Amino acid sequence: MDPAVMLRDQPVPARGGPWKDICQLQVCEPRLREKMISGLSMELGNGRTIRFWEDSWLPHGTLKDKFPRLFSVSTLTGAVVGDCGFWDGLDWIWSFQWRRELFQWELDLAGQLHETLQSAKPTNEREDTMMQAEVFPAEITSYSFTRAIWKGFVPPRIELLSWFVLIGRVNTNDRLCRLHVLDQNDKLCVLCSKSEETVFHLFLGCDITWQVWCAWLHAFGRSWCPPGNLKDHFESWTNMAIWRVERKRWFLGFFAVV
Ligand SMILES: [Zn+2]
């Protein structure tokens, strides 16, 4: 996504896996699109692209939702922020026009609107930008190491499976026991029947799985220490210095073993 372009103007990528599908979804399906937009917010720059009432550029949602009455009598619906005021020297003065004279209680609302806008003003130093309204929880950002998966070397469903493995969201026996799908006695690994079948064990720690990894590594002439977790394993794999021509094959190896 281009952070300098408003969501409604984002180009749909011509190629690419899940991201392309997501973009198309939001373009075709207005309800989803709204949902996506409400999860984003804009940072005010020169105010030339952010819509004053409809876009979420201040904390706590859109002004249209916060002041529905004023929105309904505004003559500036659809206007961008930069059209809702003017510069008086270095001061930005908010200025609105209404379809009719406001009732007293509406004037009070207008006062509240001005209060809300008190510390907000456009700046000519930068363009408006779009950003995530909410900061992602650490759990999600800590998955950023999985970015290297989405290279299009393998079909999307394989990429997705590998992603689930790396973030530990696979229905291994331990998980199915926790969810009471399996009996507590069925926790053992399907391959070795010795240890509890966790994601780490099934995809890396199990003796049998490790032999598969080692066979692949051997074919590449690499020796490998058994890593402590899947994240370390994947990171050492992706950070490996490999000849450019070999690189794709090396990556495919990871997916193949998983
Ligand atoms: Zn095992």
- How far, in Å, from the CA of 208 to the mean position of ligand 1? 7
**Are 45 and 113 in the same domain?**
yes
**Are 111 and 155 in the same domain?**
no
- How far, in Å, from the CA of 203 to the mean position of ligand 1? 9
CA 131 to CA 117: how far, in whole Å? 20
- How far, in Å, from the CA of 22 to the mean position of ligand 1? 37
117 falls within a domain: yes
Q: How many domains does the chain have?
A: 2
CA 73 to CA 121: how far, in whole Å? 23
- How far, in Å, from the CA of 205 to the mean position of ligand 1? 7
30 falls within a domain: no
- How far, in Å, from the CA of 74 to the mean position of ligand 1? 67
- How far, in Å, from the CA of 204 to the mean position of ligand 1? 9
Examine the fold and report which residue of 132, 159, 180 is the final residue of a domain before the chain moves on.
Answer: 132
Residue, of 66 and 41, whose pLDDT is higher: 66
Percent of the chain, pLDDT > 70?
Answer: 79
pLDDT tens-digit series, residues 175-200: 999 888 888 888 999 999 999 999 99
Domain housing 203: 138-257
pLDDT tens-digit series, residues 107-150: 999 999 999 888 788 887 777 776 554 445 565 566 777 888 88
Average pLDDT rounded to a whole number, residues 67-89: 89
- How far, in Å, from the CA of 151 to the mean position of ligand 1? 30
- How far, in Å, from the CA of 249 to the mean position of ligand 1? 27
CA 141 to CA 195: how far, in whole Å? 31
Asked whether the predicted pLDDT for residue 65 surpasses 60, the reply is yes
**Are 48 and 127 in the same domain?**
yes
119 falls within a domain: yes
- How far, in Å, from the CA of 184 to the mean position of ligand 1? 17
Residue 241 corresponds to which tokens in the numbers above?
């210095």
CA 163 to CA 151: how far, in whole Å? 12
**Are 158 and 205 in the same domain?**
yes
Kindly state the DSSP code that residue 218 receives in the 8-state scheme: H
**Are 152 and 114 in the same domain?**
no
- How far, in Å, from the CA of 202 to the mean position of ligand 1? 6
Asked whether the predicted pLDDT for residue 7 surpasses 70, the reply is no
**Are 50 and 105 in the same domain?**
yes
Asked whether the predicted pLDDT for residue 31 surpasses 70, the reply is no
Burial 159-191 (b: 16+ CB within 10 A, else e): bebbbebbbbeeebbbbebeeeebeeeebebee
- How far, in Å, from the CA of 193 to the mean position of ligand 1? 6
**Are 247 and 162 in the same domain?**
yes
pLDDT tens-digit series, residues 198-214: 999 999 999 999 999 99
- How far, in Å, from the CA of 192 to the mean position of ligand 1? 4
Examine the fold and report which residue of 132, 163, 186 is the final residue of a domain before the chain moves on.
Answer: 132
**Are 163 and 198 in the same domain?**
yes
**Are 142 and 127 in the same domain?**
no
pLDDT computed for residue 61 by the predictor: 78
- How far, in Å, from the CA of 164 to the mean position of ligand 1? 19
- How far, in Å, from the CA of 9 to the mean position of ligand 1? 50
- How far, in Å, from the CA of 27 to the mean position of ligand 1? 45
